[in-house]
Structure 1
């Protein structure tokens, strides 16, 4: 799949870390380092602009290494970039640890997964079909 991209960052285009990776690493595009205090969140620019084909979205997800080692995640995960969005990709990063965390220019801050999606058409009915589960949710199956 080919996707149009404008790269206004100081860094190479996003790339897959391994041949079977689902996500492309995105890098911070900063003029100065950004310090995140405990429980603080900030919008981090990437300098990237994309044009997705109709029927696709880009999902922005946390990097597991930053999460386990430093408690760094994303506030709205996965974040969705719609096919009609043309603005810069910004990443809302949050520090869930007790220590300050510094984001440096060029640091890999998240991953982006390109995913196909469907559009739903609602069919209004008076009741839904029965299942074994029914309306049970939020832990109704208990611990195993």
Structure 2
């Protein structure tokens, strides 16, 4: 096991907890909301977390949705994952969206709303070339590897063909 990365945290709201891991081995540290909020179906809101961080050079933090909120309430994040660069020193804010079509969702100050994953990131050096080297995948993208039996997309024409029977799905 590697030593934890030291992250400096400025608590902007003294009554809220610092980001923390719920269980040993968790990748994401919980972030909480600093305010109450009610989101109707399809609505989104920016929720402050009451903390700001200083990441070491070579690291970034990524704000991910909570799987329980997604499964139980249809709640996710608009910009998933949200990226916090090493040089950012402002408050971490989370853009939450209610995808449920019928039910509102309420958040109370101190509710866990997202997870913060800290990762080492590489700095890239970009080099322009006239032609890229070949690969097995080539230009295949947007579902080119298959894996979903219900929809076969023809990305070239912009149309989808829905397969309804088991015999239609053979070979997908």
Q: Same fold (TM over 0.5)?
A: yes
Write the deviation string for residues 104-139 of structure 1: whole angstroms up to 9, x where unpaired: 010000000001111111111111111222111112
TM-score normalized with structure 1 length: 0.94
Q: Which runs of 5+ in 2 are unaligned?
A: 148-171
Which of the numbers 83, 87, 95 marks the counterpart of 2:86?
Answer: 83
Asked if 1:53 corresponds to 2:53, the answer is no
Q: Deviations over 1:17-53 (max 9, x none)?
A: 11100000001112xx210011100000111010001
Cα deviation code 1:58-117 (max 9, x no counterpart) = 100000000000001000000001111111110000000121100101000000000111
What residue number does 1:22 align with? 27
Counterpart in the other structure of 1:69: 72
Range with greater deviation from structure 2 (119-128 or 105-114): 119-128
Q: What is the TM-score normalised by the length of structure 2?
A: 0.79
SS in 2 for 1:69: helix
The structure showing larger relative contact order (alpha-carbon pairs under 8 Å, at least 6 residues apart) is 1
Question: In the aligned structure 1, how far is the partner of 2:43 from the partner of 2:96?
Answer: 8
Q: What is residue 165 of structure 2 aligned with on the other side?
A: none
* Most deviating of 120-129 and 38-47: 120-129
Aligned residues: 142
User: Match for 2:123 among 119, 123, 131?
Assistant: 119
Query: Could you say which residue in structure 2 is the equivalent of 1:129?
Result: 133
